[in-house]
Amino acid sequence: MSQSSQSSGGTGPSHRSVEIGVAAFLAVIAMIGIAGSLKAGIGWAAEGPRAGFFPFYVCLIVLISCGVNLVNAVRDFSGRELFAEWSQLRQVVSVVIPATIYVFSVPYLGMYVSSGLLIGAFMKWLGRYRWPMVLAIAIGVPIIIFILFERWFLVPLPKGPLEDWLGL
Amino acid sequence: MIEDIGNLFHGFAVVLQPYNILLMVLGIVLGVIIGVLPGLGGANGIAILLPLTFSMSPTSAIIMLSCIYWGALFGGAITSVLFNIPGEPWSVATTFDGYPMAQQGKAGEALTAAFTSSFVGALFAVIMITLLAPLVASLALEFGPPEIFSVYFLAFCSFVGLSKEPPFKTVASMMIGFALGAVGLDQMTGQLRLTFGMPELLSGFDFLIAVIGLFGIGEILLTMEEGLKFRGNTAKINPRVVLQTWAELPRYWATSLRSCIIGCWMGISPAGATPASFMSYGIAKRVARNGDKFGTGVIEGVVAPETAAHAAGTSALLPMLSLGVPGSPTAAVLLGGLLIWGLQPGPLLFVEQKDFVWGLIASMYLGNVVGLIIVLTCVPLFAAILRVPFSIIGPVILVMCAIGAYTVHNNTFDVVMMMVFGVAGYLLKKTDYPLAPMVLAIVLGDKAEESFRQSLLASQGSLGVFFSNGLVGSIMALGLIALFWPLIQDGWTRLHARPVT
């Protein structure tokens, strides 16, 4: 995994810190799980093990594994290996941010409009295409999806104000 | 046995209906496209397309979906050979010799060898399924809760012992999967748990959302980080090259056979196609007389991993069909499909849903034949897809993932969850946490827990029930061996190294 990050001299977060962060994150999930299991009851009742019995032990194992992984991360990585370079992470974030906006806009704008906007934004900012090309693809793809899903397979997708206005 | 052959022919009759053949071709083409595109793989590709099959009959649906799977297996080879980019993890080993061959202008030979070996591997595995699945299923009909749990136990322990990721990361990822699977309604007591009063969590985490997020979105993010530049060789396949390569291939029958066996073994135990392809390549390299030439464009170096990967991918369906325990994430998605279509996966399928089971097995035979023909004739077309720039194909894949996630339950919250899983998948993958065990644990969590609790209920809480008879005891023992395999191997080598030092 680290071969790509060491090749050039860029900077970025260390692999160790991300490793520790992931282990800590999973440990937090495990603790939430343990708390929830305790609330549901981890003991025995008349009908056998109670609802929290299984998840409690499962989360306990996660917690223990996270401890081991944390120790391993501190031991195996010096802190000098890079997780990824900032320039690479910027690429990743440049997908994550529009994609996050996209998933939250779907309930309001509908699947078709927000998909068109996402594709258009990608092509304009990352691909630097000319407007005619951007518009052709950003409008064409949702139309193809519409025909494919709503007409052929009869699967309705979320619709927004535009579809209401068009009466679809 | 005779009855099974009769059933198989009946299956062929089902598959050979024009509508089903159409679905088969459609499935293969979609599958190859999925296999070629980065960010879409067998598992999440099928997860995305699963909702399209809700209105079909289960038999037609499984024919289409399993053909997408075969297509994806074939498709991975195209990008490996022509672009040096493995479209799927299991075709990484194919790039070692496939890409050098393409650079030497022998792309046609490499692709023909890859497709043909895939076909051979799949055929071997399908024949094995035809012969073994009914036997395993009839054996499994006798299973009680402890035996069923022991099979799950073995499946999950194999992950820990056989995967190349650190064992504690495998355990953590798997158990997180179980925990996510436990959220929502408790199947046995009808009690709500781990929902923390959030109505969105009432129905729990759906593994299809997890698959689309972890594998689809996570993969797109990885692709973005690497900043893919597609610069590929052109593919020219004409009948003369195909025939020439076919004439050469029988020479490697030993490699083929060995790879088939490795593939089947790794496919049944849920280690999967990826380690199978590496293992097969490694062994072929060690055994071959020209082993030192491996990596420079030897045709055997294409035959070995492709045969094993396809054999493993296919045989992963054996435990899924006969026991209800999928051998790979893709098989898990197909299993999820069975549940949605109202079929109960497991040994009873062979008794109650003969049409379905034998239709599926027959479609494995025909699907691979159709697949071989399609990929051999349409390679340039599929290769052209990769020449579409990522800034166009990337958001389109994202949109497909979002639509797939939405259509599972017609719920926009799932689309948000998909994104969360996607970012998590990127981080987990970068830090070497395996994702397959997590997905399998989300799918099988409820069933594993149910069998575990039923066993304990019967034994009044004593764990001895899992060693109470020879069958369950030996499956559990195998599981424990698999679980501690890294330690056992370590101890073994140390024991043998000591006299030398």
Q: Give the model confidence (pLDDT) of B347-392 as tens digits.
A: 888 888 888 888 888 888 999 999 999 988 888 888 788 778 888 8
Give the angle subtended at the CA of B282 by the CAs of B281 and B283, to the nearest 5°.
95
Query: Between A26, A53, A145, which is nearest B176 by CB?
Result: A26
The amino acid present at A31, given as its one-letter code, is: M
Q: Which residue has the higher pLDDT, B309 or B161?
A: B309
Report pLDDT for A1.
39
A 131-160 → B contacts, CB under 8 A: 137, 141, 145, 149, 153-158
Q: Which residue has the higher pLDDT, B427 or A10?
A: B427
d(CA B121, CA B371): 13
Q: What is the pTM of this model?
A: 0.85
Residue A106 in contact with partner chain B when CB distance is under 8 A: yes
A 28-87 → B contacts, CB under 8 A: 29-30, 32-33, 36-37, 39-40, 44-45, 47-55, 58-59, 61-62, 65-66, 68-69, 72, 83-84
Read off the pLDDT band of A98 (50, 70, 90): very high
Q: Minimal Cα distance from A68: which residue of B?
A: B168
For range B393-415, the mean pLDDT? 90
Report pLDDT for B228.
57
Tell me the Ramachandran region of residue A167: left when phi exceeds 0, alpha when psi lies from -120 to 50, beta otherwise. left
Tens of pLDDT, residue by residue over B16-66, are 889 989 999 999 999 998 888 876 777 888 888 888 887 788 888 888 988
Tens of pLDDT, residue by residue over A114-147, are 999 999 998 888 888 899 999 999 999 999 999 9
Report pLDDT for A139.
94
Average pLDDT of chain B?
85
pLDDT at residue A6 tops 80: no
d(CA B278, CA B257): 16
d(CA B52, CA B57): 12
| Residues forming a β-bridge with B192 | B185
**B159 in Cβ contact with B174 (< 8 Å):** yes
d(CA A96, CA A36): 30
Secondary structure of B280-343 in HEC code, one letter for each residue: HHHHHHHHCCCHHHCCCCCCHHHHHHHHHHHHHHHHCHHHHHHCCCCCCHHHHHHHHHHHHCCC
Q: Minimal Cα distance from A17: which residue of B?
A: B431
Tell me the Ramachandran region of residue B297: left when phi exceeds 0, alpha when psi lies from -120 to 50, beta otherwise. left
| Residue B217: alpha-carbon gap to chain centroid | 18
Query: Between A23, A106, A123, which is nearest B415 by CB?
Result: A106
Q: How many residues does chain A have?
A: 168
pLDDT at residue A24 tops 90: yes
Query: Between B182, B194, B225, which is nearest A84 by CB?
Result: B225
Q: How many residues does chain B have?
A: 501
Report the run of H or E that residue B224 belongs to, with start and end. helix B218-226
Tens of pLDDT, residue by residue over B83-98, are 777 766 777 788 888 8
Report pLDDT for A2.
39
Is there a contact between B407 and A145 if contact means CB atoms under 8 Å apart?
no
Token digits of residue A86? 């900032």
Read off the pLDDT band of B402 (50, 70, 90): very high
Side-chain half-sphere exposure of B281, counting CA atoms within 13 A: 27
Give the angle subtended at the CA of B411 by the CAs of B405 and B414, to the nearest 5°.
45
**A79 in Cβ contact with A17 (< 8 Å):** yes
Cα torsion B63, B65, B69, B71 to 10°: value is 70
d(CA B390, CA B289): 42
Diameter of chain A by CA atoms?
A: 70
3-state secondary structure of A56: helix
Is there a contact between B166 and A40 if contact means CB atoms under 8 Å apart?
no
Cβ-count burial B238-261 (b if 16+ within 10 Å, e if not): eeebbeebeeebeebeebbebbbb
pLDDT at residue B331 tops 50: yes
Closest CA to B219 of B3, B418, B16: B418
Report pLDDT for A3.
41
Instruction: Select the highest-mean-pLDDT range: A29-38, B193-202, B216-225.
Output: A29-38
Secondary structure of B353-374 in HEC code, one letter for each residue: CHHHHHHHHHHHHHHHHHHHHH
Report pLDDT for B137.
87
Is there a contact between A95 and B391 if contact means CB atoms under 8 Å apart?
no
Token digits of residue B276? 């199978």
* Residues of chain B neighbouring A133 (CB-CB closer than 8 A): none
Report the run of H or E that residue B185 belongs to, with start and end. strand B184-185
Report pLDDT for A61.
94
d(CA A37, CA A39): 5
Query: Between B217, B225, B452, which is nearest A54 by CB?
Result: B452
Mutation target for A interface from B54, B64, B219, B392: give the one with most A CBs within 10 A: B392
Cβ-count burial A85-106 (b if 16+ within 10 Å, e if not): beebbebbeebbebbeebbebb
Burial class (CB in 10 A: 0-12, 13-18, 19+), B459: middle
Is there a contact between A126 and B391 if contact means CB atoms under 8 Å apart?
yes
Radius of gyration of chain B, Cα coordinates, nearest whole angstrom? 22
* Residues of chain A neighbouring B431 (CB-CB closer than 8 A): 1, 15, 18-19, 22
Query: Between B396, B431, B461, which is nearest A22 by CB?
Result: B431
Any residues with CB less than 8 A from the CB of A10 and at least 6 apart, and which? A82, A85, A86, A87
Residue A26 in contact with partner chain B when CB distance is under 8 A: yes
Cβ-count burial B377-392 (b if 16+ within 10 Å, e if not): ebbeebbebbeeebbb
Report pLDDT for B271.
61
Closest CA to B59 of B96, B24, B91, B105: B24
Q: What is the DSSP letter of B87?
A: S
Tens of pLDDT, residue by residue over B448-457, are 888 888 888 8
Q: Minimal Cα distance from A113: which residue of B?
A: B399
What ipTM was predicted for this assembly? 0.89
pLDDT at residue B300 tops 60: yes
Low-confidence winner among A47-61, A88-102, B202-216, B282-296 (lowest mean pLDDT): B282-296
Is there a contact between B426 and A92 if contact means CB atoms under 8 Å apart?
yes
Is there a contact between B430 and A1 if contact means CB atoms under 8 Å apart?
yes
d(CA B192, CA B11): 42
Report pLDDT for B2.
73
Token digits of residue A7? 């090749």
Is there a contact between B394 and A122 if contact means CB atoms under 8 Å apart?
yes
Report pLDDT for A33.
92
* Residues of chain B neighbouring A23 (CB-CB closer than 8 A): 172
**B65 in Cβ contact with B20 (< 8 Å):** no
Query: Between B410, B419, B453, which is nearest A99 by CB?
Result: B419
Q: Which residue has the higher pLDDT, B239 or A73?
A: A73
Mutation target for B interface from A92, A143, A154: give the one with most B CBs within 10 A: A92
